[in-house]
Structure 1
Amino acid sequence: MIVRKLEDLIGTEAEVKADKGTWTSRRMLLRKDGMGFSFHDTLIHGGTETYIHYANHLEAVYCVGGKGEIEVIDSGEKFELHDGVMYALNGHERHWLRATETMRMICVFNPPLTGKEDHDENGVYPLITDEDDAAA
């Protein structure tokens, strides 16, 4: 059994901050935990927007606080985000994530993240392999 407390992750290597400063992800379960998915408690900072394209991952997100929107780039659809709204990126949708006030999001990724990922210039998390981990 794995039991982790959010308060124990804050300020450790499990708390990852985006290079661009738009989000802070507290990574509660990672690939090394062997669950087949990763689990994150993420803050999307108010007044920010982030371009995202998870070309290598599927993600489900549940908003538990704050307000914002997700805009699907190819269709132009916009969806309001607030406490109680879930969205799943089951088609690798390119999107903008905007926070009008800081949002707290519970996120699940498949394949699971290693904990080292940040969005590249194309909004993508790289798919880190076991070989990449061994080289680090």
Structure 2
Amino acid sequence: MIVRTLEECRNSERRVVADTWESVRMLLRDDKMGFSFHITNIYAGTDTHIHYQNHLESVYCISGEGEIEVVNGETYPIKPGTLYILDKHDEHQLRAYKEADMVMACVFNPPITGAETHDENGVYPLIEE
């Protein structure tokens, strides 16, 4: 059994910070569960380009509000209780409204190692064993 707290992970190398977000990677590839699990804060008033070409992701909004705009032009509101699934490696812009950070629970397949950050195209690299 694996038991971890958010606080414990936040105060370790599992916390990764970027310009528009920070992610606490609570479950990683080395845990051998077949997926990774993160709690990610999207900073208020930010706009992040994301294109997971090597991973599928599902995201559940815990708090905060914003929107996701897919490159095809469709825009969807994000608020607490919203789940969105990037099942086609959807390239998108993720925007958090200015009022507050968006707190998101994220699941990735394949699981990430924990060292990944977005490259210039919004992609997490696929890190092989």
The TM-score range, normalised by the shorter chain, is: over 0.9
- Whole-angstrom CA distance in 1 between matches of 2:107 and 2:30: 15
CA shift, 1:10, in A, is 1.6
1:78 aligns with 2:81: no
**Structure 2 length-normalised TM:** 0.97
Q: Deviations over 1:57-104 (max 9, x none)?
A: 00000001000000001x200001010000000001110000003100
Letter in 1 for 2:92: H
Unaligned runs of 5+ in 1: 131-136
Q: Which consecutive aligned stretches of 4+ in structure 1 deviate over 6 angstroms post-superposition?
A: none
- Equivalent residues in 2 for 1:37-76 (5 A)? 37-73=35-71, 75-76=72-73
1:97 aligns with 2:111: no
- Whole-angstrom CA distance in 1 between matches of 2:55 and 2:37: 13
User: How many residues matched?
Assistant: 127
- Whole-angstrom CA distance in 2 between matches of 1:10 and 1:85: 24
CA shift, 1:109, in A, is 0.1
Letter in 1 for 2:112: L
More strand by share: 1
CA shift, 1:11, in A, is 2.8
When the two chains are superposed, the root-mean-square deviation of aligned CA atoms in Å is 0.6
**Structure 1 length-normalised TM:** 0.92
Letter in 1 for 2:60: Y
CA shift, 1:12, in A, is 1.4
Letter in 2 for 1:68: G
Aligned position for 1:29: 27
